[in-house]
Amino acid sequence: MTRIAIVDYNVGNLPSVQKAFAAVGYDTEVTSDPAVIAAADGLVLPGVGAFAEGMKNLVAAGLVEPVKAYAASGRPLLGICVGLQLMFEVGEEFGETPGLGLFPGRITRLPSTVKLPQIGWNLVEPELPAHPIFDGLAEPYYAYFVHSFAAEGCDPADVAALTDYGRFFPSVVARGNLIGVQFHPEKSSRAGLTMLANFGRIVCHSNSTRLSI
Q: State the angle between helix axes of 189-212 and 14-23 in degrees (0 to 180), rounded to the nearest 10.
A: 80
Q: What angle do CA 193, 36, 24 make, to 5 degrees?
A: 15
Helix axes 64-72, 51-60, angle to 10 degrees: 100
Q: Which residues, 6+ apart, have CB-to-CB distance to 159 below 8 Å? A: 127, 128, 170, 172, 173
Contact 157, 174 (CB under 8 A): no
Tell the burial category of 58 from Cβ atoms under 10 Å away from its Cβ (0-12, 13-18, 19+). Answer: buried
Positions annotated as catalytic residues are 81, 184, 186
Q: What whole-number distance in Å separates Cα of residue 171 and Cα of residue 5? A: 23
The residues, ordered by sequence, that sit 6+ positions from 211 with a Cβ below 8 Å of its Cβ are: none
Q: How far is CA 159 from CA 130, 131, 146, 181, 209, in A?
A: 13, 11, 20, 10, 26
